Every structure is written in C-alpha cells, then in structure tokens.
Amino acid sequence: MVRKVADDALAHFAATGDIGRKYLIDHSAGSGKTLSMCWLADRLHSLFKPDSTEKMVDITFLLTDRTTLDKNIRRDIVHFTHLKDVVGLADRADDLPRFLKDRKPIIVTTLQKFAWILDELQERPELKNLRVAFLIDEAHRSQEGQMGVAIRVPFRTPDDPDAVDTEDDVKDEEEKIARIIREHDKNQLFVAFTATPAPATVTLFGAPFDTYSEAEAIAEGYIVDVAASIISYKTLYNLHCPIVPQPDEEKFYPKGVVAKALQNLAYQDEGLIQYKAEVMLRIFEKDVKPLIGCRAKAMIVATSRMAGLLYFNIIKEKLKERGADYKALYAFSDFVHTETNKSISEHAVNELKDGELIEDRFAGDDYRLMIVANKFQTGFDQPLLAGMFLDKPVMDRNAVQTVSRLNRCHEGKKDVVVVDFTNNASAILKAFAKYRQGTPFVPFEPDPALCTKLYDDIIAAGVFSQADAQNFVQLAATGTDAQVQYQISGLRLRFQTRLTSLEDRKSFVYMLARLVKSFHFLTCFFTFPDAIKEFTAFAEAVGPQLIKQGSVSELMKQIRRTEVIKAAVEYQGEVKNTSGKVKLRPGGGNQGAGPPLVKVSVQDMIDQIRSKYTISDEEALYIRQVTEAKVEDPAIRDTVQKHREDSIFLETAYRGQVNGEIQVTYNDLGRYDELADAKYTDTGGIFDSMAITVIKTHLLAA
C-alpha cells in the first residue's frame, strides 16, 4: 500500500507539479492501519521530484479523532528512530503554530486540535504555498460535514480561479460546475484509512485505492474471526406506570419513540442489571477466562454511562462475594449523575494514579473485565480481549467496529466468545458479511443542483425569506443571546401561523435539515453562492427550534414514573455464520446472472404486501412514495448497473443497504410506527420487499 500510494503520488507530482490526490485505503480492523500510516508518513517525507532536490511534500499531518488512536500512532512512530527530529507530537493546540512555524515535516495531532488552528492557517498566506499531505484515520468519522470542508479550504493553490472560496462573480450553473473539484484539491494529498467505509466516504474519496479485506486478514492469520457465531439472549421485562390519564387527557405518541424510551429505561434497571451481571460472570468464568492460557479478558458494552456505572458497582460486589482473583474497570468519559447531580469521573471511580491511563491499568493480569458505554468501542487495541457482552444495540458499521475489538491476534488465541442481550445477533452477523470482502459501496457523482433546489423550495414555501436569514446571521454575530432568542421566538410564531398542520411543519423542518446536511457535504466538492451559505447558517440555527419541545414532555413524565416490575433474560441459542469458510483473496465480480427477471411495478409490490399484511391506505401511500423516490435515486441506479452481473451482491449486501436507506427515509419522515413494526423490519418484511422492488426495477432498466 505504501509503495502504491507513494509511486502514484510521485508520478502525478512529476507530471503536473502538484500533489493533489485523494486515496481511500480500505484495510480490515486490526490489520495494522496505524503502523501503515506511520510507514506512509516516513515514505512521503523522503520523496523528491525525479532528478531534482525539490521535496514532494512539505508537511504531512497524521490526523485522528480519538485520543486512543492518537496514542497508538505515538506508540508506533517512536520506533522510527531516524524520524526523531522531524516528527512533532502535538500535545496541546498551541504546539501546532510552533510546529508550522518550524516547518516540522511530520505532525501528529487530532482533528479536534487541528480545527483550532485552521483560522490562523487561512490568515497566513505563506502556508497556502506549502504542499501538504493529510493521513486520516477512520475516514468515515472525519471526512463529512464542516470539518471536511475546513481541512480543504486553507491550502488551495493561490491565484487559482477554481479555488476562490466566495462566489460573488458566479452568474450561471455552468460556472458552478466548472468550479467542481472531482479528483483532487491543488497541492493537497489526502489518504483516508478505514475498515468500514460509509457511502459518503466512498463518494468523497473514490473507490478504494487499496483493499485488505477482513476475509484476507483472517485467512492469512493476521486477525481472529470474531463473527463465526454469537450466543444470543433475549432481554424480557414487564413495566408498570402508576400514572393513568383520563381518556380525554390521554396523549398518543409514535410507537417507535415510546419503545425506544422504555427500552432505555429497562436497560438501566438495577434489578435487571443484577440478573444480567450474574449471567455474564458465569459465562466469563466458564467460557472466556480459561482462554489464552487463562489470561483472557472481556468487555461489557452497556447501553449508557449510568447503566455502566451500575454494572461496575454490581460486578465489584459480586467479585468480592466470590473471592475472585480478578478485578473489573469502568472506562467512560466523565459525566454528571442524573439523580444526584454529582460529577462522576473515570479517574476517581477506578482509583487511578495521577497520570495513569485506564488502558494501561487494564493491561495488568489482575484486571480481566472492562465495562464501557461508548469509550473504547472503537480504536482500542488489547490482544488479550477474547470475550464481549453486548447489552447495547449496535448496528451495521458500528457493530463491526465494536465486535472487532476482539480480533487482535495473540499467541494461543484461537476462539472468542460474543454474547448478545439485545436480540440482535443475526443483524450483527449480517453486518460482518456485508463488509467481509471490502466495502460494498461504489462512488457516485454528487449532484450540485441539490442544495440549489432545496433552497429554492424553502424560499418558495413563503415562510422565511433571504432577508430573514441575513438579519438573523448579522444579529447572531453581534447581538446578545437574549436578542437572538427573541428573534427566534418571532420566527417560530410566524412559522406556526403560516403552517397550521403538524405534518406540514414537520416536512418544512425536515427540508431545512436536508439543506444543512447537503450543504456541509457538497461544499467539499462545489462552491455555492453567498446567499445559500447564509441561508444554511440560518437554517442550522433556527430549524431545530421551530417545533419547540417542552423541557419535560408529558411522555417523559410517564416514562420516568414507569418501573420494571419483572425482568429476566432468556437463552435463545447460538446464532452461527452460515456464509461458509473464509477464503484467501476471494474472487469478486461476476457471480452469475441468477434467475430470469420478472417484470415488477410498485403497484404489484403494494398488492403483494396487502395480500400478506394488513396495511392502511396511508401506509400504502408512504410505501409508494418512498419506493418511487428510491427508484429515481441515481446513486442506487448506478450501483445496480455496475453490479448487474453480480446477483449475490445485489440480493444480499446491497439489498440490506437499500433496506437501510429506506428506513432512514422513514425516520426522516417521522414514521416511527413502521420502524417499530416487525412486519416492516423482519427479514422478508415490507422494507425488504421495497428494497427488492427498487433493485429489480433498476435491473430491468439496465
């Protein structure tokens, strides 16, 4: 990978004089991405234009968004002793200006720290003449939104008309399209490393330049297969709420919202955690602890920091009662206790010494259990981890990243134990199957007209004008918080007066949110008029406050009074990966065309759904609306056309992706009832039928 990237970048530099390139590196979790970044930084530092003394790269940034990953880079790069004087490890934000001033050739920092200095970089013209490389760890967490834009802007080549950040002189669409940056930004080299690329990552960086899939890593013995099987438990609980509203006072809420709130309540119940903790300890002592020569460790993933604290206290007591020869730790970011309002710190809870890191404490042989909520679900490297207890729903890429904490090899490590308490074992195994051979996504061309159309539709609705946005942005820059809130109150009143239907209000707010999301992504590729930039800032600040929620809603009052009166976990069995043995360097592409295509229509699909399920006319309307929207989606069309010979991919991984996109759309439309309904979400359910119809429609067209 290092040679391929370096050779390609150097050839481009020799031919054009700039280093503008984007590379996506799709390497499996646990395959040594951090070390690969260090080797690549070393190589880039040593490259010169052929037959000259002109360096190709002036500064290389190693960027990461987590302290743990930052630590991994530090740990690996110290072994490059010949780089001792050229590497700057930025411990504080004020290190960066000094490193830039000294022209440190390699700077290790986090994206968060780097953002602090971007404004200064823009104000120092001499920096725009530098050729800069960015090596980004876990691209899907760093390439989207405003951070992605911020990285690209400061280092564009001066005097390049296509690099102008304002667009005062833009008169028509052709000039906008002329400004697009499709392949590279001038004098910026981007190399993004990830094990589970998101569709947006693939779109921004292009198809993977180099792939080392999980299947290859397992077959070569570089990582352990953590998705061969999962032990599944179902969490059961009965709830009771003493508040019984009068019939005329009773409020109705979307089923999905209520179900999620009640699940969170149950998963933080002390009695239920007592029950689960006992099950976990028994499995750990019987099946996990003896692994790796009786040195194996396990991780418990809790649904929240409060639940994690309960697990930690309960497990500490249980280990004391047992007279156990091992201990537990609780890794979390500090928070305020919801009941006592006291500050809870990781350092105090675990009795860490000054300067001691919890991951270093966990490396000791006497610590065998680590409880986490969000911390260490990604970027945590502990080869002795061989067990995981999931008491928190994890989906798609997050499932792969979380469970992959177990895949690091160690002498004597052959098997791992994964236990799921969320009834989600099959979905986790499907997620691994989706990414096992590399990314299932293909790049698509971003549409520059999307932001413009959304902006035009919002203005045409007649609720807010460009003058409203201009006035608000000026006030936000110069006024007080009280003045800003006063203006928002007036805007909210006008919004409520002009849109009287709740559905119309939700649709309008959803349109504002789409504009904000689209703008932040598309500005990585296009430059937009100041009017759209200004209105997007207005929409981002005002949109979420238009449908104002009470500080404590009637729903939450009832949820907080609800109690778990009976709870248990029920063994469901072992869910196994049935996809077969992992093969080395699997073949891709043409897998056969499959059975002959049968003509399909949206109405035929609705008729089939009605014959199988009871659905209302309103549900049928949404099924039609969302299916037809996906049929018109150019990204889905392009993917199906490119993979039309690969029926296995389309019928499995890609069908699951389209199903997920359909569910995202239902969530955006506020259709929570369907998202909580098994007839929609089950395998072979309504969402699956919609996804199959969309794919078959595009196949027929192809």
Residue 543's Cβ-count burial label (10 Å; 0-12, 13-18, 19+) is buried
3-state secondary structure 119-182: HHHHHCHHHHHCCEEEEEECHHHCCCHHHHHHHHCCCCCCCCHHHCCCCCCCCCHHHHHHCCCC
DSSP reduced 3-state for 301: strand
Per-residue confidence (pLDDT) for residue 19, from 0 to 100: 87
Q: State whether 259 and 186 are in the same domain.
A: no
Q: Is residue 90 in a domain? A: yes
- Rounded to whole angstroms, how far apart are CA atoms 472 and 513? 17
φ, ψ of residue 586 to 5 degrees: the values are -65, 145
3-state secondary structure 51-87: CCCCECCCEEEEEECCHHHHHHHHHHHCCCHHHCCCE
Q: Are 6 and 140 found together in one domain?
A: yes
Which segment of 8-12, 234-238, 431-435, 678-682 scores lowest on mean pLDDT? 234-238
Alpha carbon dihedral 448, 450, 455, 457, in 10-degree steps, equals 140
pLDDT for 554 equals: 65
Least confident span in 229-238, 277-286, 319-328, 692-701: 229-238
Whether the Cβ atoms of residue 191 and residue 23 lie closer than 8 Å to each other: yes
**pLDDT at residue 275 tops 60:** yes
205 and 265 fall within a common domain:
no
The pLDDT score that the predictor gives to residue 251 is: 57
Residue type, 56: M
Cβ contacts of 43-48, under 8 Å, gap ≥ 24: 43/2, 43/3, 43/6, 44/6, 44/9, 44/133, 44/189, 45/83, 45/86, 45/105, 45/106, 47/6, 47/9, 47/10, 47/13
Q: What are phi and psi of 405, to 5 degrees?
A: -60, -20
Q: Is the pLDDT of residue 383 over 80?
A: yes
Tell me, yes or no, whether 387 and 356 share the same domain. yes
Assign 451 to helix, strand or coil: helix
Asked if residue 58 has pLDDT above 70, the reply is yes
Indicate if the pLDDT at residue 315 is higher than 90.
Answer: yes
Please state, as a whole number, how many other Cβ atoms lie within 10 Å of the Cβ of residue 275: 18
498-532: b (≥16 Cβ within 10 Å) or e: ebeeeeebbebbebbebbbbbbbbbbbbbbbbeeb
Domain-embedded: residue 162: yes
- Tokens 């929620």 sit on residue: 549
The confidence score (pLDDT) of residue 441 equals: 67
Same domain, residue pair 185 and 265: no
325/380 same-domain check:
yes
Assess whether 272 and 233 both reside in one domain: yes
- In this structure, how many other beta carbons lie within 10 angstroms of the beta carbon of residue 446? 18
pLDDT, position 552: 43
Cβ–Cβ contacts within 10 Å for residue 283, how many? 18
> What pLDDT digit, counting tens, does each position of 151-199 carry?
444 444 444 433 333 333 333 332 332 232 233 345 678 888 888 887 7
pLDDT in tens, 341-372: 899 999 999 999 998 989 899 999 999 999 99
The answer on 455 and 428 residing in a single domain is: no
Residues 424 and 460 in one domain: no
The whole-angstrom separation of Cα 41 and Cα 5 is 11
The tally of domains found in the chain comes to: 4
Q: Which of 559, 577, 603 is the last residue of a domain?
A: 559
Let me know if residue 520 belongs to a domain: yes
Query: How many residues are listed for the chain in this entry?
Result: 702
Specify whether 630 is located in the same domain as 610: yes
Q: In terms of pLDDT, which residue wins out, 440 or 403?
A: 403
- Residue with token string 């429609």: 697
Strand partners, 89: 108
**What is the rounded CA–CA span in Å between residue 58 and residue 155?**
12
Average pLDDT over residues 648-659: 79
- Mean pLDDT, residues 125-154 taken together: 63
- Position 317 confidence tier, pLDDT thresholds 50, 70, 90: very high
Last residue of a domain, one of 146, 179, 212: 212
Last residue of a domain, one of 539, 559, 579: 559
Mean pLDDT on 114-140? 69
Spatial distance between the Cα atoms of 623 and 666, rounded to a whole number of angstroms: 9
Going 653 to 658 to 661 to 662, the CA torsion angle's sign is negative
Q: State the residue range of the domain holding 447.
A: 442-470+495-559
Please report, for the domain that includes residue 89, its CATH number: 3.40.50.300
Q: Is residue 479 part of a domain?
A: no
Provide the 8-state DSSP code for 584.
S
Same domain, 461 and 413: no
Range with the poorest average pLDDT among 29-38, 233-242, 292-301 = 233-242
What pLDDT is attached to residue 327?
96
The single residue listed with the structure tokens 């984007």 is 22
**For 566, phi and psi rounded to 5 degrees?**
-155, 130
Question: Are the beta carbons of 688 and 651 closer than 8 angstroms?
Answer: no
Tokens 């990243």 found at: 401
Per-residue pLDDT, 182: 34
| Residue 310 pLDDT | 94
E strand or H helix at 575, and its extent? Answer: strand 563-576
Residue 221 lies in a domain: no
- The answer to the question of residue 454 being in a domain is yes
Residues 6+ apart with CB under 8 A from 549: none
Average pLDDT, the chain: 80
Neighbours of 369 (CB within 10 A): 27
| Cα maximum dimension of the chain | 86
Min mean pLDDT across 26-35, 39-48, 195-204, 580-589 is at: 580-589
Helix (H, G, I), strand (E, B), or coil: what is residue 582? coil
Task: Name, in order, each residue with C-beta under 8 angstroms of 29's C-beta and a sequence gap of 6 or more.
Answer: 195, 196, 214, 223, 400, 401, 404, 407
Q: Which residues pair with 25 in a beta bridge?
A: 193, 210
- At 67, the pLDDT band (50, 70, 90 cuts) reads low
DSSP 8-state assignment for residue 375? T
Residue 265: pLDDT over 70: yes
**Residues sharing a CB contact under 8 Å with residue 35, sequence separation 6 or more, in sequence order:** 76
Q: Other C-beta atoms within 10 Å of 58: how many? A: 16
Task: State how far the Cα of 532 lies from the Cα of 456, in Å rounded to an integer.
Answer: 10
Confidence of residue 377 (pLDDT cuts 50, 70, 90): low
Stretch 540-545: mean pLDDT: 88
Q: Which of 27-36, 148-157, 415-424 bottoms out in mean pLDDT, i.e. has the lowest?
A: 148-157
What percentage of the chain has pLDDT greater than the value 90? 30
Residue 541 lies in a domain: yes
Three state DSSP letters for 379-396: CCCCCCEEEEEECCCCCH
* Confidence tier at 563 by pLDDT (50, 70, 90): confident
Same domain, 160 and 269: no
Torsion sign, CA atoms 423, 424, 430, 432: negative
What CA–CA distances, in Å, run from 431 to 53, 399, 527, 682, 686?
49, 7, 36, 15, 20
Instruction: Work out the average pLDDT over 421-436.
Output: 83
Residue 291 lies in a domain: yes
User: Residues 446-460: pLDDT tens digits?
Assistant: 677 888 999 999 999
Confidence of residue 142 (pLDDT cuts 50, 70, 90): very low
Cα angle 594, 597, 603; round to 5: 135
pLDDT score of 388 more than 90:
yes
pTM of the predicted protein model: 0.67
Per the CB < 8 A criterion, the answer to whether 71 and 102 are in contact is: no
